[in-house]
Structure formats: structure tokens, C-alpha cells
Amino acid sequence: MARSLKPLVQRWSSRVFSVELDGAPLYFAVREKLRGGPASPAAFSKLQQEDRCYSLLVCSGDRIRGDRFHWELRDKLLRDLPPGSDVTSMSSFLPEEKGSLLKGYFFKSRAGDSPQVEELLGDLEQRDPVLVCSYSRSEDGQQWTQSLRSAEKNLLRFYVVPSEAPEHHPSVLNMINSDVFYSLDEASEVLRKCDDIIPETRSVLRMLPSRVDARSKPDFPVIVVEGLDATGKTTLTESLRDALGAALLRSPPQCLSTWRARFDREPPLIRRAFYAAGNYITAEQICQAATRSPVIVDRFWHSTAAYAIATAVTGPVGNLPHEGSEVYCWPSDLLQPSLVVLLTLDPEERKRRLRSRGLMKTDEEQELDHNKLFRLRVEEAYRRIIGPACITVDASPSADLVLQQALLLIRAKCHL
């Protein structure tokens, strides 16, 4: 273990740990001494008598390296661990302490597999920014202990005890400027730092505006249309362009389309920085176009933030950062549209439109179809964003009626 990890280990027993077991988070803490408190969380008892468990937490000082390593580690574990290891997501955090979240994995191992597992973990520990813990249970099966390898290679042993669920989903602690970016500087700093590993980044950086001025008010109204895939954004934005004699733009902008698939394969930090950068490029295009005509924009910051927040958080809508949280606030250096229209659609009708269009797109869009909770989180995150907030339009009537509804709103709100 590197020397730099010492401060982390010193506060080890102030941490809460979270493991996804059977699709629900199990929270636990560790204590150096047992003071007659409760034994290990009941969910641990589901693990077989002969099972030993392990956790790996990524703790790189370099967040780009750490995020990429964490992203690749899952595949490595699934490939190299014995079958039946049940690799699942894990995290650890200091309650209420921003930036304290560590992400990693938890898995089981049968006694007979120990040599193979220990060899893999030993290799990882030597080369990579990980903290490895093993978990074993007492003879009577009631008490689990967690062993953490210290800098001196001896084991620090802790008792595993139950912990209450935190008030917010742990991911919220690291969301700002990791999942969601709030300034061009923060997003471009991430992109600059990964230009050696992703050469395409240099081309993206060259397209970024040299300065941003979010205060100058465009001459003509800027109307953003948001919504899940297949809610009818393309149909509506094209009709609005024709009806209003407007310019039609999108985010990510056309000039980034060559590189989008490349960044979609990257872990969240890099991927979200790419989409954030796209918004600033689109903002510059909006400013220019809005000197001549109204501007219609197909997706903008609402999409970037809502998908990022809904992906970082798991589980029901109640796990989202609470309404009014700073994570929903529009970046102060990004041009504010005059109006944001959110198209909403009944899930069955959306699926029908997706099918009739005949193609599914990004993994996240496929996920939306499979995972009802994810779809609900994205929609709710859209609704919670403020400065500007979005105005919902029901997209289930015919395309012409949806257009009329949107035109009514635009005339009322933008004096067109």
C-alpha cells in the first residue's frame, strides 16, 4: 500500500461501506473494538459458511486514472476470477463529506479458490491504486471481520457492524464536477488531462470557445427541446424550425459527431466532460445564430445533467439528490435558453415509437427501455433542474397537435 493511502486508512473506521447485494444496497461500518453492539448485518448471513469475501476499493490520487482503472477492473474481475464469484458494485464514503466516495467491487470466493484469488489480488495491489480487504466470519457465524492490508503489510482487523442508510445516495458526494460539470474550465481540465490516452481529445479541445460570456442576451429567443429518446424531439424541432424560420442546432454539435462514439466508450468522468464541452460549443453557435433568427436546440444541458445524475445514482427516484440541491443548478457560465420544453410520453407509446423507428441507439437508451427505474430517474432529474426550468408538453397527441402546443407556449413565453 502506498504511503499516500495512510490518511485514508487513519479514518477507516469513520467510513461507511455499501455493497449491492440482491439488487439492494447493504450498508455497514467497521469498528476496532466491539462494545457489545449488534453483530454483523443480517444480510451477511446469506453468504455460505465456507465463503470468504473480498473488496477492492479504487483510491488513485489521479481521478482520470482511477476512473479508467475502476471502469476496466470490472471486466478484469469477471474474466479472471473463478466462476460463481458474484462480483458486485461497492463503495465507501465518509458520511456528509463531499469528495470522500471510493468506488470498487465486492465478491465471494470459495475456500478452494483462495490461492488463485490471492494471486490476482496480490498482483493488483502491487501495480494498481487499490485497497484490498478480505472478510471472514467467526466460528459461530455471527460476527464478520474485515482485514485491510496496511503499509507495513500486516493486517488491520476490524469488526463488521451494521450502519444506517445515509440520507443521500453515496454517489451524490462526488457528483459535482465528476458526473456533472458546472463550468467550461472544469470540463476542459478533464479533457486536457486525458489527451495522451485519448488523442481524439485534442481535436475536441481545439473546438472549444476561447472564452464564454453567458451574460450577453441573444437578440432572438433560444428554445431548447428536451426529452427521452423517441419522444419526438427531432420531429418537433424540425417543424418549429420551419414554422418560425428558425435556425436548428443540437448538442452535442454536428462537429463532434465523429468522436462521440469514442467518448461513449469511456468511463463517466471523461464521457460527461465530453458532453459538457459539447454544450459550450453549441452555446457559441447559438449566440451567432441568434443574432439573425430564433434558434431551436435539440437537447442541451438538461440532457447532460439528467442522464449523468440518473446513471450515478441507483435504485428508486427517492435516491436522487433532493429537489433544490445544488446539483440541479444551471452552470453560471453557460448561455441560458429563453425556454426549455420537455416532451413527455407514456412508456408504452415511447416503446412503440422506438420500435417503429427500428433502431436502438446508445447503451444508455437501451438501458432506458429495460430499466424502468432508470427512466423514472432521468425524467425526474429533468424536472428538478432549475435556472431555466423546463416546461412539460405531453407528446402523445399527433405531431401537428404537439407542434401547435409548443407554438402556443413559445408565443406566450418568448413574445414571438
Ligand X SMILES: Nc1ccn([C@H]2C[C@H](O)[C@@H](COP(=O)(O)OP(=O)(O)O)O2)c(=O)n1
Ligand Y SMILES: Nc1ncnc2c1ncn2[C@@H]1O[C@H](COP(=O)(O)OP(=O)(O)O)[C@@H](O)[C@H]1O
Which spans of this chain sit near ligand Y (rule: CB under 6 A)? 227, 229-235, 353, 356-357, 395, 398-399, 402
Out of 181, 280, 307, 374, the only residue in the binding site for ligand X (CB under 6 A) is 307
- Pairing between strand 52-58 and 88-93? unpaired
Distance CA 69, CA 228 (A): 30
Q: Whose Cβ is closer to ligand Y: residue 126's or residue 356's?
A: 356
H-only helix segments in 128-199:
184-193
Q: Whose Cβ is closer to ligand X: residue 113's or residue 364's?
A: 364
Decide if residue 259 touches ligand X (CB under 6 A). Answer: no
Decide if residue 355 touches ligand X (CB under 6 A). Answer: no
Helix%, strand%, coil% for the chain, nearest 5: 45, 20, 35
Number of residues that bind ligand X (CB under 6 A): 15
> Within 13 Å, how many C-alpha atoms sit on residue 58's CB side?
20
Partner interacting with residue 303 (select from ligand Y, ligand X, none; CB below 5-8 Å by kind): ligand X
Enumerate helices (H) and strands (E) in the chain, giving the number of each.
13, 13
Partner interacting with residue 402 (select from ligand X, ligand Y, none; CB below 5-8 Å by kind): ligand Y
Partner interacting with residue 275 (select from ligand X, ligand Y, none; CB below 5-8 Å by kind): ligand X
Burial level of 7, CB count in 10 A (0-12/13-18/19+)?
A: exposed
Decide if residue 330 touches ligand X (CB under 6 A). Answer: no
Q: Whose Cβ is closer to ligand Y: residue 104's or residue 232's?
A: 232
Show the binding pattern over residues 217-246: x = contacts ligand X (CB under 6 A), - = does not: ------------x---x-------------
Q: Whose Cβ is closer to ligand X: residue 6's or residue 355's?
A: 355
Partner interacting with residue 274 (select from ligand Y, ligand X, none; CB below 5-8 Å by kind): none
In the bound complex, what is the minimum distance in angstroms from residue 363's beta carbon to ligand X?
A: 8
Q: Cis (ω within 30 of 0) for the bond into 252?
A: yes
Residue range at the interface with ligand X (CB under 6 A); choices 99-107, 164-172, 329-337, 356-364: 356-364
Q: What angle do CA 257, 240, 408 make, to 5 degrees?
A: 140
Distance CA 85, CA 93 (A): 24
Partner interacting with residue 10 (select from ligand Y, ligand X, none; CB below 5-8 Å by kind): none
Out of 80, 365, 367, 380, the only residue in the binding site for ligand X (CB under 6 A) is 365
Buried b (16+ CB within 10 A) or exposed e, 166-177: bebbbbbbbbbb
**Could you give the 3-state DSSP secondary structure of residue 391?**
strand
Dihedral angle over CA of 376, 379, 381, 385, nearest 10: -160
Decide if residue 181 touches ligand X (CB under 6 A). Answer: no
Residues at the interface with ligand X (CB under 6 A): 229, 233, 251-252, 275, 279, 299-300, 303-304, 307, 361-362, 364-365
